[in-house]
Amino acid sequence: MAFTIPPATYLTDFLAFRATEKPDGPCWIFNGRTWSWAEAWTSVRQAAGALVADGVQRGDRIAILDKNNTAVLQVLLGGCQIGAATTVVNWRLAGDELDYVLNDCGAKVVFVGHQLIDQFELVRDRLEHVEKVIVVGGENDEFEAWLATGKPTDRQPDVDPEDICVVMYSSGTTGRPKGVQLSQHAMVEHSVNGVGDTTYDDTDMALVAMPMFHVGGTSYALTGPVIGIPGYIISEVDAMQLAGGMLAGCTHVFLVPAVVAALIAAGPEAMALFSKLKGFGYGAAPMPLPILRAAMEAWPNTEFQQVYGMTEMGGVITVLNDAAHRDAAHPERLVSAGVPVAHAEMRVVDPITLDDVAPGNSGEVWFRTPQATAGYLGKPEATAELLTPEGWLRTGDIGRVDEDGFLFIEDRIKDMIITGGENVYSPEVERVLAEHPAIAEIAIIGVPDDRWGETVKAVVAFKPEQSATAEELTEFARERLAKYKVPTSIDIVEALPRNPSGKILKRDLRKPYWSDQDRQV
């Protein structure tokens, strides 16, 4: 590797190191402006001072409701300097969801992007803890003036590495989202481990595209100082902004599979533009094999890295590196989640007995790692369900591990389909049907059945100008799957519902079929 990761105890140590090592080099590029490492570090210390002036203390929480912006990083890292935690709020939330998160995190100061003021004002009178609101950007920008008043502030002496620095709200695919508390120590550990074995040099630049209200977006944005390369930040995932990043010279990016599928659908010119990438990371949702194969074919000189993880572990906990992607002896590992990152232990346990299953068998995947959350904010019961007394984190995912330690995620526990006493893991069926040339995206769910308890249903969306009948898709599956795994019904839709992280909302797909049932599985 042509780069060195500096030692760090606190999350701001990486940026402080780069500001000394190469103060005039580019750190952030956003909206036509470039911050040097020294300027970025000064702005973070100013943010810390301004927060102190606003009465923010160690242990307090602040929030920012904005699209991707350097202000997100300035506020978050500034909070680290004084031991405060930042919640990056999902700007796509509707009214009662938005005030729920802002009230639940207890933010005293809220930064609001100028494009989102109207949305914020709808809930402002329902906010219980907010003492100050600062507008970011636009004609009425208050952020730059607020920042300029801040006295550059060094890390306060009472700040501890175990202080919470981020409260990131889970996607909330079931019920209300929960505030995942991540400490500086956990985020430092994750920042180093998330680099994996991808190669970088001084000419590289990361395209920061994924929303920072998602742990994958924030964690990726924080990786630049770890490696020592600049981050080209775009406000949201948009075709023109993505292209702008590539034309500006970005060499590395992290995207969700749905974005890759859109690039492929956009045609050869779009794929050719991204063929200049040296490193491509993807995760947050399974990558359909046809999409992955098409990307690898279009980008033969790009290093691929798949990551699996969850908010509760700061993001990445296993990595499938480029060598594993191209291992001709083990083509099945293209659908693997890879192997654990450094300092992470992994178990696969029977979800009923909690005993370890035999190698190769399926069970719930558990991890013990320094990256793990300290727990859910204000929810001790949910925390106790997540973390064992011995420090193991229950993922809620069903998986198995092969003879070389590669993890294969098969389903969510709550989504496992039990039909006639047989367990059906939906990703297996999804992978098979995703190979059909007409299918763009697919979800497999269980629906109630008087005879079998539940049966397998497929919900599919077709590629542009392509289609197939339900009978044709059923026959396609029947030729490739055991009989009990073949969908007994197929719904055809224009697009599958997804949350802002790109995950398919199976809850929404299941709801019409289970709403009048006295059980949900």
Residue 478 falls within a domain, yes or no?
A: yes
Tens-place pLDDT, residues 395-427 = 999 899 999 999 998 877 767 787 866 667 787
Regarding beta strands 393-401 and 375-376, do their DSSP bridges make them parallel or antiparallel, or are they unpaired?
Answer: unpaired
Tell me: do 363 and 477 sit in the same domain: no
Tell me: do 362 and 453 sit in the same domain: no
Amino acid at 265: A
Regarding beta strands 26-30 and 231-233, do their DSSP bridges make them parallel or antiparallel, or are they unpaired?
Answer: parallel
Residue 263 falls within a domain, yes or no?
A: yes
- Whole-number Cα distances in Å, 194 to 187, 320, 388, 483: 10, 11, 24, 40
Residue 104 corresponds to which tokens in the numbers above?
């639940």
Residue 136 falls within a domain, yes or no?
A: no
In DSSP terms, which residues pair with 460 in a beta bridge? 442, 492
Regarding beta strands 303-310 and 315-320, do their DSSP bridges make them parallel or antiparallel, or are they unpaired?
Answer: antiparallel
Tell me: do 214 and 307 sit in the same domain: yes
User: Looking at 336, 356, 378, which one is the last position of a domain?
Assistant: 336
Residue 3 falls within a domain, yes or no?
A: no
Residue 354 falls within a domain, yes or no?
A: yes
Residue 517 in this model has a pLDDT that exceeds 60: no
**CATH assignment at residue 372:** 2.30.38.10
**Domain span including residue 364:** 343-412
Residue 500 in this model has a pLDDT that exceeds 90: no
User: Averaged over 384-394, what is the pLDDT?
Assistant: 96
User: Looking at 412, 434, 455, which one is the last position of a domain?
Assistant: 412
Cβ–Cβ under 8 Å, residues 473 and 490: yes
- Calpha distance 166→302 (Å, rounded): 32
**CATH assignment at residue 486:** 3.30.300.30
Tell me: do 327 and 450 sit in the same domain: no
Tens-place pLDDT, residues 113-161 = 999 999 999 999 999 999 999 999 999 999 999 999 999 999 999 999 9
Number of domains, the chain:
3
Q: Which of 220, 217, 242, 245 is nearest to 232 (CA)?
A: 245
Residue 245 falls within a domain, yes or no?
A: yes
Residue 34 corresponds to which tokens in the numbers above?
């470039």
User: Looking at 336, 371, 404, which one is the last position of a domain?
Assistant: 336
State residue 1's pLDDT score. Answer: 46
Q: Is the model more confident about 423 or about 173?
A: 423
Tell me: do 234 and 309 sit in the same domain: yes
Tell me: do 288 and 372 sit in the same domain: no
SS3 108: coil
**CATH assignment at residue 273:** 3.40.50.12780
Residue 350 falls within a domain, yes or no?
A: yes
Tell me: do 426 and 439 sit in the same domain: yes
Tell me: do 381 and 274 sit in the same domain: no
Residue 388 falls within a domain, yes or no?
A: yes
